[in-house]
Amino acid sequence: MDQDAARTARESLELVFQMSNILGTGLDRHTLSVLIALCDLGLNPEALAAVVKEFRRDPPSTNSTPATPSGS
């Protein structure tokens, strides 16, 4: 990537980050960068938004051991 393209990418990410902050998404620059890259690869932005919402609604368990069914 040449210097102009890199500068444009950084400026674009900064603009997206500012918009994200205005909208109160709580997404950091790294997460936004990954989401943008996934969109550039052709993933559906609405599907990505749904995944982000799902992760926020139901955060992963911090318990490192798998749950076992009761009665076993």
- Give tens-digit pLDDT for 12-61: 999 999 999 999 999 999 999 999 999 999 999 999 999 999 988 876 67
Per-residue pLDDT for 64 more than 80?
no
42, 52, 37, 11 alpha-carbon torsion, rounded to 10°:
130
Given a cut of 90, is residue 63 above it in pLDDT? Answer: no
Over 70: is that where the pLDDT of 70 sits? no
Give dist(CA 28, CA 57) in Å, integer: 17
Q: How far apart are CA 44 and CA 23, in angstroms?
A: 20
Axis crossing angle, helix 45-57 with helix 29-40, rounded to the nearest 10: 140
